Each structure stands twice: as C-alpha cells, then as structure tokens.
A and B are shown apart, each in its own frame.
Chain A
Amino acid sequence: MSSVVGEITPQPAATEIATGARGYWSTVARRLSRDPVSVICAVILAAILASAIFAPWLGLADPYQGSMIRRLRVVGTPHYPLGTDELGRDMLARLIYGGRLSLLTGILPVCLAFITGTSLGIVAGYAGGKINTAVMRTIDVFYAFPSVLLAIAISGALGAGIVNSIVSLTIVFIPQITRVAESVTIAVRNRDFIDAARASGAGPLTIMRVHVLGNVLGPIFVYATGLVSVSMILASGLSFLGLGTRPPEPEWGLMLNTLRTAIYANPVVAALPGAMIFAVSICFNLLSDGLRSAMNIRD
C-alpha cells in the first residue's frame, strides 16, 4: 500500500495530471514485475511467443522437409539439436513453427470468449430478473457437458479445421467466463458506489460500461488467463483426434499424436511437444496467479 501512495512529482497542469497519472494497470504491472516467478514465466512465454512469430527469420530448417534416412534422430544429433520426427523433419523447427498454431488456438478462443462472456455476464448480472434467468439458464445448458466432450461435439459437427476448432473452443469457454462475470457483477452491483453513480445521474449503460466493467475486469481477466492453458490442451486434444490441425501442419497436439508411434523408439523426442504444451500451460497458470495477487492493490 505504501508503495502506491508516495512519489510527489511536480505537475504543471490539471490536464497533464489526468493523462500522466499512473493508472491502475501500470501499478499492477509494477507489482507484477516484483514477483520473480511471474517474471520468469513472462520471460519464457515472451520467448516462445517471439520465436513463434519470428520463426521464418530465425534461420531454421524447413519444418516440412523430411528425409527417410534421418528419421527419429535423438536429441543432440549434429544439425538436429532436438532430433528429428518420424518423417525425418527437424524437431526444433517444427516445435517453433508449431507454436504459431498452438498459441493461436490457445489464446484466440479465450480472447473471443472473454469479450462475449464478459458482456453477457455483466448484462445478466446487472439487469437481474428475467434477463438474468434467460442468459444464465441458456449458459447452464452448455455447462452440463464436460468441456472436452463439448469441444469434440461442436468441432465434429462443424468439421475439422483450425477455424472450426477455434469456434468450438470459444463456445466452450463462453459459459465459464459468463458465469464468473455474472457472479462478480452481482457482488459489485449492490456496492455503494453503484448507488452513488446512479445518484449522480449515470444511466444503466454508463454504470455497466464504466463502473461495473472497471471493477469486474480484474477477476475475469485472471480467470481467463488461467483458461489459456486449458484452451491449448483442448486444442491439442482436438488435433490429436484429427479434428483440429491436419498434417503436415506443425502443431504441438498433432505432433504428439503422430510421434506417439515412436514412443518406444525415441521417447525423448516423442515427449517434446508435450513438454512444450506443459511449459506454456504452467507459465500461463503461474502468471495468472501472480496477476491475481498483483491486482489486490489494497493488500
């Protein structure tokens, strides 16, 4: 708390104070940067994300170019630092290129579900009554299915493909985020400052957009960060079942599936895509934990 209060800086004019003020999120970021676990996780994630984005410029081997002679080389083989897969393709290149699709299917559905679910949850929670019942009971229908089953069912119905698997994962996450958004909105709705906002003439839209959203965004954001790893694992699962990415596209879940046959021949290489999924998931989970405590500014 004391860290937030101090720091007297000369401020030339009122308008500049407004724009130059250290906002809520920059305070959170500063607190987050003091947590070593969060920093390490953030660095790992940033490295994986950057390598995935800049993969074509990293001078890697062609991830699609296989060779029947050099199949299933072990980790540490010259020219193949992480070995080769069952078709003799460079594992390092495939893991880095695979990050592109895996991260996309991990993050994009959560972002889409975050936007939809938060809006639905806030409206349902703030409006209450019949609107709440209508939204929440519909959500409950989706909630009745285990998320893996739901993802498989929707993906299966829509057909295989990356876009369809992103759509199906978004549908899987919307109910979960809506439910969190609704419950935090209900907690915020009866707070005094909502009454105070009404007393100063704010209409329901302003209250939802400014006061409710500002106060519920934090907890929902933390929850959503935790969902990224779930999304990645589900997306990998869909690919594993042949409902997501198709060969020869590199994607961690799919790679895990195809390398499954080589588990006795070369277990280390076969486990590598799984290790990537694990690393990214655990980093996102730890980061969301760090974020949760960094957001409790009043502690």
Chain B
Amino acid sequence: MTGLVEVRNLIVRFSGERTVHAVNDVDLTLEQGEVLGLLGESGSGKSVTLRALMRLLPKKRAQISGSISIGGRDVLALDDDQLSAFRGQVVSMIFQEPGLALDPVYTIGDQIAETVMRHEGRSRSEAMARALDMLEVVRIPSAKRRLASYPHEMSGGMRQRAMIALALACRPKLLLADEPTTALDATVQIQILLLLRELQREFGMSIIFVTHDIGVATEICDRISVMYAGQIVETGACRDIVRTPAHPYPRGLLASTVRGARRDAPLGAIPGAPPSLDVAPVNCSFAPRCPNAEARCLAARPPAIEVAPGHLASCVLAQPASSEPLPG
C-alpha cells in the first residue's frame, strides 16, 4: 500500500545547549483525499512533525532521520532547487496566526501572484487573475477589492481565508494546517473548518490538520493520530478515537472536555505533566501519569497493537482485535 504520504520511523532531534527529542519514531500514512488530524498538547511534537514533512526545520539544529515520502518522492533526499519546487506545488502550509504569516508590506494579490509566477512561470496578469480566482474560491467578499488590500486591513478570519488562498494557489496535493483555527474566535473557526472541508473535497487534496482541540479535530478529520511526547500513541478513524479510545491518554483527553460535563461536577483532568524530552523514550512515556500503569509499562516501549481494523494503539493493555476481550 503506497499512499500520498508515507512516513516511517521519523525521528527529529534538536541539538543545542540541550538535546531535545522532539519526535520519536513516528509512522504516518495518508491516502490521497484524506484528512488526518494530529492531536496533542503543546510540546507533543505535532508541529515539529508537520515542519519535518516540508523540511522547514532549521538545518543546523534539527537532525531528521527515518524516511518521508510524499507523492512518491523521498523528501529527505531533495536538493534545494527540488525542495523549492516541491514546497508550494506538492505540499503547502497554513499557519496558526495568519496576521503574522502574511507579509505586511505586500497586498494579498501580490503575494498570491508572486507564488503563482514563481511556480508556474505565468505572466503577472495571468497570476493576478489566478489570485482573484483563488480569493473567490475561499469566498472572500468583494474579492476584486481585497486583491489590493494589505493584511492589516483585513479581519482575522479574512486573513486566514487569504492564507488558504495563497497556500492553494498552485493546487498542491497535500495541505499542512498548523492549528489554523486556534487564533480565531469560535464563529469564525467553524466557518474556516467548513471552508477547508469543502475545498478539500473540491480539490481532492489531502490535509494533515494539527490541533490541540479534539472538537475541531472531529469536525474535519477522517482519521486522527494522537501524539504524546513525540510519539503517536493512538491512530484510528475519527469515530473510533472518540467512541472507543484504547489508549489511556486519549481517554483522559476526552474525559477532560467541557462538552457534556455536568455543571457542578469538576472536569476530569490527567494528573501530572508531560515528560521532559531530554532523553529518548525507553518505555511508555505516559506511564508516570497513567492510572493503569503496570511494571511492564516501564520495562519497554509498548508496541502498536491493532485493536480494530485501522485502529492502532501503543499500549500494553490494548486488546488485539483477534483476541478475546478479558472478562471485566
């Protein structure tokens, strides 16, 4: 099976004053036209994974090992020119804070046109026409006028739409979304999610959507991978993760959501704090916080167990789909 994205044993380490093991042995698979959510708290390595896919991490400090293949190309083997062509054309990215990710001194139209001209060698007027098309595609009202607007003249939601227009201008196969709705307020958030979902279907592209908000993830994702301490602890269809989480970490996450909680009952919280990433994990990283931890959790890293078709959990307590469930 070869999907659009194949990531095997991805390890990212930052060297410097202290070594940080940001991503530890991550495997990802993504089919064309699929939306994958990377869910995790701050510092769980989701953004680093995303940036590694595009080789956006600082060259000197980040050591990347493993294999990344996107659209059949070995991303880690691309040279600078190939990388430039690859970014924006095959994969592009939208960011958390659109106000900071758009260049403040150029108009929206100029910024979109610049990318189109660079990648497709179009003339300026053709590129501007494409920019106008794109603004209409992302449903920016009075698109013609907005073409000549500067980012600071637009609202947050409109900026994120413009950012999406910029990212999709060259029809990439894969869109990486780094918490694109976190900086927006709730009503705008849902509009942007619906827009992304619609555009994803329209263009037939794949999306990797990074978020820490499980509600947002369920809104847009086909599949969800939950990250903890730089590892994927559970992967499965959106429904499976929400209804029958097999790993105690996503279970804890779901228990701590406000939705459905009773007013006077305290919210469930996971005790403790995430581990320091100074050393590579040798056992289950979640064990110190896990209510069901056993001696064997500390002995070795738990293998990924397929609890249901396409639903994997890295926990010794997870029951393989084939075996009988334990009584009780």
Contacts and interface: CB of A to CB of B under 8 A. Distances in A.
A133 to B, nearest CB: 14
B153 interface: yes
B9 interface: no
A59 interface: no
A255 to B, nearest CB: 43
Contacts of B131: 14
Nearest to A27: B150
B24 interface: no
Interface string A187-207: 000011101111111110010
Contacts of B176: 199
Interface string B107-128: 1011001110011000011001
B105 interface: yes
A193 B110 contact: no
Nearest to A194: B103
User: By CB atoms of chain A within 10 A, which of B107, B118, B148, B163 has the most?
Assistant: B148
Contact of B87 (A4, A191, A201, A215): A201
B84 interface: yes
A14 B101 CA distance: 24
B87 A8 contact: no
How many interface residues does chain B have, given as a range? 35 or more
Nearest to B126: A15
B132 A14 contact: yes
Nearest to B88: A201
Contact of B93 (A14, A20, A196, A203): A196
Nearest to B132: A14
A211 B87 CA distance: 17
A200 B125 contact: no
Nearest to A210: B114
Contact of B145 (A11, A191, A197, A214): A11
A202 B118 contact: yes
B80 A200 contact: no
Interface in A231-258: none
A42 B75 CA distance: 55
A201 B56 contact: no
A298 interface: yes
B166 interface: yes
Interface string B127-169: 0110110000000001011011010110000000001001100
Given A15-B128, A17-B147, A196 B87 contact: no
Contact of B128 (A14, A195, A211): A14
Contact of B148 (A17, A129, A197, A200): A17
Contacts of B95: 192, 195-196
B97 interface: yes
A215 B54 CA distance: 25
A5 interface: yes
Given A196-B95, A199-B88, A201-B119, A14 B144 contact: yes
Contact of A214 (B81, B93, B105, B115): B105
A262 to B, nearest CB: 52
B92 interface: yes
Interface in B208-227: none
Contacts of B106: 210, 214
Contacts of A210: 103, 106, 114
22 contacts: A1-B152, A11-B144, A14-B109, A14-B129, A17-B109, A17-B148, A18-B110, A20-B148, A191-B100, A192-B97, A193-B102, A193-B103, A198-B87, A199-B54, A202-B115, A202-B118, A203-B81, A206-B118, A210-B106, A214-B103, A214-B106, A218-B105
Q: Which 5 A-B pairs have the closest CB atoms?
A: A201-B88, A21-B148, A192-B100, A201-B87, A200-B88
Given A11-B148, A15-B125, A196-B163, 18 more contacts: A4-B150, A14-B131, A18-B128, A18-B147, A191-B100, A192-B95, A192-B100, A193-B103, A195-B95, A195-B101, A200-B92, A200-B115, A200-B167, A214-B103, A214-B106, A215-B104, A215-B105, A298-B104
